[in-house]
Amino acid sequence: MRKSTIISATLAGFITAPVAASANELVLYCSVQEEWCRLMAESFQRETGINVLMTRRSSGETFAQLKAEEGQPRGDVWWGGTGDPHLQAAEEGLTAEYQSPMLEELQDWAVSQAEASGFRTVGIYAGALGYGFNTELVADPAPGCWADLLDERFRDDIQVANPNSSGTAYTLLATLVQIMGEDEAFEFLGELDENISQYTQSGAAPIRNAATGETAIGIVFMHDAVAQAVQGAPITAVAPCEGTGYEIGSMSLVKDGPNPDNARAFYDWALSPAAQALGAEANSFQVPSNRNSPVPPESPSLDQITLIDYDFATFGSSDTRQRLLSRWDDEIGARR
Amino acid sequence: MRERQVWLAVLALGLMVLPWHNTVPSGASPFMPSALGLAADGRGWLWPLVLLLPLMFWAGMRDAAGQVFLALAIGGFALLLAQGFVVGLRGPSLDWVAGVFPTSTQGQTGFGWGGFVTGVALLGLIAHALALRGFCRGDRFAGSAVVFIVALLGLFVFFPILKLALAAFVGPDGELAIGPFLARLFAPEIWRLDCLTGGRRCGVVINSLVLGLLAATICTTLGLALALIVSRTSFRFKQTLRALSILPIITPPFVVGVAIIVLFGRTGLITGWGAELFDIRPTRWVYGLTGILMAQVLAFTPITFLVLLGTVEAINPTLEEASQTLGAGPVKTFFKITWPLLRPGIAAAFLLAFIESLADFGNPIVLGGGYEVLSTRIFFAVVGARYDLGNAATLAMILLSLTLIAFWLQQRWLGRKSYVTVTGKSDAGLASTLPFGLKGVAWAVVVPFVLFTLGVYAVVLVGGFVHDIGRWDLTPTFAHLNTAFAFEISANGVQFFGSAWNSMQTTLIVSAIAAPLTTLVGIMTAWLVARQDFAGKNAFEFGTMLSFAIPGTVVGVSYVAAFNVPPVDITGTAAILVICFVFRNMPVGMRAGLAAFAQIDRSMEEASSTMGAGGATTLRRVVLPLVKPAVFTALVYSFVTAMTAVSAVIFLVSARHNMATAYIMGRVEAGEYALAITYSTVLMIVMIVCIVLIQLIVGARKLGRRREFQGQTTPAE
Range list for CATH 1.10.3720.10 in chain B: 205-462, 501-698
DSSP designation for B176? B
* H or E element at residue B306: helix B289-314
For range A328-332, the mean pLDDT: 86
For chain A, the C-alpha Rg in angstroms (whole number) is 22
CB B274 within 8 A of CB B280: yes
A5 is a domain residue: no
A11 is a domain residue: no
A107 compared with B93, residue with greater pLDDT: A107
The pLDDT confidence band at residue B1, using thresholds 50, 70 and 90, is low
Q: Give phi and psi for A210, each to the nearest 5.
A: -70, -35
- Which of B232, B6, B228, B213 lies closest to B120 in space, CA to CA? B6
Residue A325 and residue A193 in one domain: yes
Which residues, other chains included, contact A170 with Cβ-Cβ below 8 Å and sequence gap of 6+? A60, A82, A84, A85, A163, A321, A324, A325
- Which of A60, A132, A152, A201 lies closest to B368 in space, CA to CA? A201
Would you say residue B68 has pLDDT above 80? yes
Spatial distance between the Cα atoms of B131 and A332, rounded to a whole number of angstroms: 64
> Under CATH, to which class is B501-698 assigned?
mainly alpha
Residue A116 and residue A144 in one domain: no
- Which of B399, B682, B370, B329 lies closest to B556 in space, CA to CA? B399
B370 in reach of chain A (CB within 8 A): yes
CB B190 within 8 A of CB B274: no
| Angle between the N-to-C axes of helices B436-463 and B673-698, in degrees from 0 to 180, rounded to the nearest 10 | 110
Would you say residue B224 has pLDDT above 60? yes
Domain range for A211: 127-245+317-335
Residue A282 and residue A196 in one domain: no
A195 is a domain residue: yes
For range A37-45, the mean pLDDT: 90
Which residues, other chains included, contact A326 with Cβ-Cβ below 8 Å and sequence gap of 6+? none
Closest CB from A29, A214, A336 relative to B267: A214
Which residues, other chains included, contact B495 with Cβ-Cβ below 8 Å and sequence gap of 6+? B487, B488, B489
Which residues, other chains included, contact A226 with Cβ-Cβ below 8 Å and sequence gap of 6+? A237, A285, A298, A299, A300
Residue A132 and residue A259 in one domain: no
Percent of chain B with pLDDT over 70: 91
Dihedral of alpha carbons A144, A147, A153, A158, sign? positive
Highest mean pLDDT among B1-5, B53-57, B578-582: B578-582
- Which of B243, B346, B249, B355 lies closest to B304 in space, CA to CA? B346
Query: Quick count: other Cβ atoms within 10 Å of Cβ B621?
Result: 11
For range B369-389, the mean pLDDT: 80
Instruction: Supply the pLDDT for residue B238.
Output: 77
Would you say residue A272 has pLDDT above 90? yes
CATH of the domain at A47: 3.40.190.10
Q: What is the pLDDT of residues B458-473, one digit of tens each?
A: 888 888 888 877 767 7
Q: Is B413 exposed, middle or buried (0-12, 13-18, 19+ CB in 10 A)?
A: middle
Residue A219 and residue A277 in one domain: no
Query: Quick count: other Cβ atoms within 10 Å of Cβ B537?
Result: 13
For range A95-118, the mean pLDDT: 92
Percent of chain B with pLDDT over 90: 22
Residue B98: C-alpha distances to residues B40, B75, B175 (Å): 18, 22, 20
- Which of B627, B617, B625 lies closest to B593 in space, CA to CA? B627
Spatial distance between the Cα atoms of B223 and B305, rounded to a whole number of angstroms: 4
Q: What is the pLDDT of residues B84-124, one digit of tens each?
A: 888 887 778 888 888 888 888 877 888 889 999 999 999 99
For range A17-43, the mean pLDDT: 76
Query: Quick count: other Cβ atoms within 10 Å of Cβ B627?
Result: 24
- Output helix, strand, coil percentages for chain B, rounded to the nearest 5: 70, 5, 25
Instruction: Supply the pLDDT for residue B415.
Output: 57
Closest CB from B369, B564, B616 relative to A4: B616
Spatial distance between the Cα atoms of B241 and B245, rounded to a whole number of angstroms: 6
Residue A231 and residue A330 in one domain: yes
For chain B, the C-alpha Rg in angstroms (whole number) is 29
B470 in reach of chain A (CB within 8 A): yes
For range B68-77, the mean pLDDT: 89
Which residues, other chains included, contact A331 with Cβ-Cβ below 8 Å and sequence gap of 6+? A186, A189, A190
A190 is a domain residue: yes
In a 3-state reduction of DSSP, which class is residue B181? helix
> What are A179's strand-pairing partners?
none
* H or E element at residue B10: helix B2-12
For chain B, positions 174-193, list CB contacts with chain A under 8 A.
Answer: 189
Q: What is the pTM of this model?
A: 0.83
A15 is a domain residue: no
Q: What amino acid occupies position B500?
A: A
Contact list in B for residue A233 (CB cut-off 8 A) is 471
Domain B205-462 belongs in CATH node 1.10.760.10: no
Spatial distance between the Cα atoms of A121 and A250, rounded to a whole number of angstroms: 6
B539 compared with B211, residue with greater pLDDT: B211
Residue B594: C-alpha distances to residues B236, B590, B632, B699 (Å): 34, 6, 14, 20
Chains A & B: contacts with CB separation below 8 Å: 182
Residue A323 and residue A193 in one domain: yes
3-state SS track over chain A: CHHHHHHHHHHHHCCCCCCCCCCCEEEEEECCCHHHHHHHHHHHHHHHCCEEEEEECCHHHHHHHHHHCCCCCCCCEEECCCHHHHHHHHHCCCEECCCCHHHHHECHHHHHHHHHCCCCEEEEEEEEEEEEEECCCCCCCCCCCCHHHHCHHHCCCEEEECCCCCHHHHHHHHHHHHHHCHHHHHHHHHHHHCCEEEEECCCCHHHHHHHCCCCCEEEEEHHHHHHHHHCCCCEEEECCCCCECEEEEEEEEECCCCCHHHHHHHHHHHCCHHHHCHHHHCCCCCEECECCCCCCCCCCCHHHCCECCCCHHHHCCHHHHHHHHHHHHHHCHHHC
Q: Give phi and psi for A289, each to the nearest 5.
A: -95, -20
CB A29 within 8 A of CB B655: yes
Q: B311-339 burial, b if ≥16 CB within 10 A, otherwise e?
A: bbeebbbbbbbebbeeebebeebbeebbe
Spatial distance between the Cα atoms of B188 and B194, rounded to a whole number of angstroms: 10
Residue A103 and residue A212 in one domain: no
Among chain A residues, CA nearest to B189: A334
Residue A203 and residue A56 in one domain: no
ipTM: 0.74
A257 is a domain residue: yes
Judged by phi (left if over 0) then psi (alpha if -120 to 50, else beta), residue A51 lies in beta
Among chain A residues, CA nearest to B582: A14
Mutate which of A4, A208, A330 to disrupt the B interface (most B C-beta within 10 Å)? A4
Average pLDDT value for chain A = 86
Q: What is the pLDDT of residues B163-186, one digit of tens each?
A: 899 989 987 777 788 888 888 888
Contact list in B for residue A13 (CB cut-off 8 A) is 120
Tell me how close the Cα of A291 comes to any Cα of chain B, in angstroms: 30
Q: A14-23 burial, b if ≥16 CB within 10 A, otherwise e?
A: bbbbbeeeee
Report CB contact under 8 Å: B655, A53: yes
Spatial distance between the Cα atoms of B392 and B561, rounded to a whole number of angstroms: 10
- In angstroms, the first-to-last Cα distance of chain A is 64
Instruction: Supply the pLDDT for residue A133.
Output: 95
Spatial distance between the Cα atoms of B114 and B35, rounded to a whole number of angstroms: 7
Query: Quick count: other Cβ atoms within 10 Å of Cβ B619?
Result: 23
Residue A209 and residue A183 in one domain: yes
Among chain B residues, CA nearest to A30: B655
Residue A37 and residue A149 in one domain: no
CB B244 within 8 A of CB B251: no
Would you say residue B425 has pLDDT above 90? no
Instruction: Supply the pLDDT for residue B29.
Output: 67
CB B142 within 8 A of CB B126: no
Query: Quick count: other Cβ atoms within 10 Å of Cβ B628?
Result: 15
Least confident of A35-44, A230-239, A312-321, B208-217: A312-321
The pLDDT confidence band at residue B680, using thresholds 50, 70 and 90, is very high
Dihedral of alpha carbons B559, B564, B568, B572, sign? positive
Cis before B567 (ω within 30)? yes
* Total number of domains constituting chain A: 2
Instruction: Supply the pLDDT for residue B426.
Output: 57
A233 is a domain residue: yes
DSSP designation for B172? T
Q: Determine the length of chain B.
A: 717
B113 in reach of chain A (CB within 8 A): yes
B658 in reach of chain A (CB within 8 A): yes
Residue A319: C-alpha distances to residues A89, A187, A250, A322 (Å): 13, 21, 20, 5
Closest CB from B380, B517, B671 relative to A205: B671
Percent of chain A with pLDDT over 70: 92
Spatial distance between the Cα atoms of B622 and B74, rounded to a whole number of angstroms: 34
Contact list in B for residue A199 (CB cut-off 8 A) is 370
Closest CB from B3, B569, B671 relative to A5: B3
Tell me how close the Cα of B117 comes to any Cα of chain A, in angstroms: 8
Q: Determine the length of chain A.
A: 336
Residue A329: C-alpha distances to residues A57, A162, A318, A326, A333 (Å): 21, 10, 16, 5, 4
Half-sphere exposure of A321 (CA within 13 A, CB side): 27
Query: Quick count: other Cβ atoms within 10 Å of Cβ B170?
Result: 17
Residue A71 and residue A187 in one domain: no
Instruction: Supply the pLDDT for residue B32.
Output: 76
B412 in reach of chain A (CB within 8 A): no
